[in-house]
Amino acid sequence: MSLQSPPITTAIQLLTLNLGDNQNIGTTNGKIALDCSVRKTRQGHVCISTTDFFFPLVDSPYLQGRIGAANVLSDLYAEGVGECDFMLMLLAACRDMTESDREICTREMVRGFN
């Protein structure tokens, strides 16, 4: 006898953050947000956060920064956020690169992210 498991989408929909503070406003009925989290602060503001890590997808540091910015905004849009006041970029550079190459790549990724 085998047990039938619900489809993965049903299983994900059943997950909740269960924080007990009624501040889960990111998705319908406080379910887990897969792209970002949306939380109400004690002051009544809304804090939206998303963090993604990925390795370079293209050879251009500038384009990599553009891809990173687009990825952040798409996570926010997926949760229905229409406006973004600021974004924080977490950037790491390989220590095996020369200092000059690291400086150029870092500068260009930040320029692309802006």
DSSP character for 111? H
d(CA 43, CA 100): 45
What is the model's pTM? 0.62
Q: Are 112 and 63 in contact (CB under 8 A)?
A: yes
Cα 4 to the center of its chain, rounded Å: 33
CB burial string 17-32: b at 16+ within 10 A, e below:
beeeeebbebbeeeee
pLDDT interval class at 107 (50, 70, 90)? very high
Q: Are 48 and 37 in contact (CB under 8 A)?
A: yes
DSSP character for 15? -
**For residue range 17-69, what is the model confidence (pLDDT) as tens digits?**
444 455 554 554 545 555 677 777 888 887 777 887 878 889 999 999 999 98
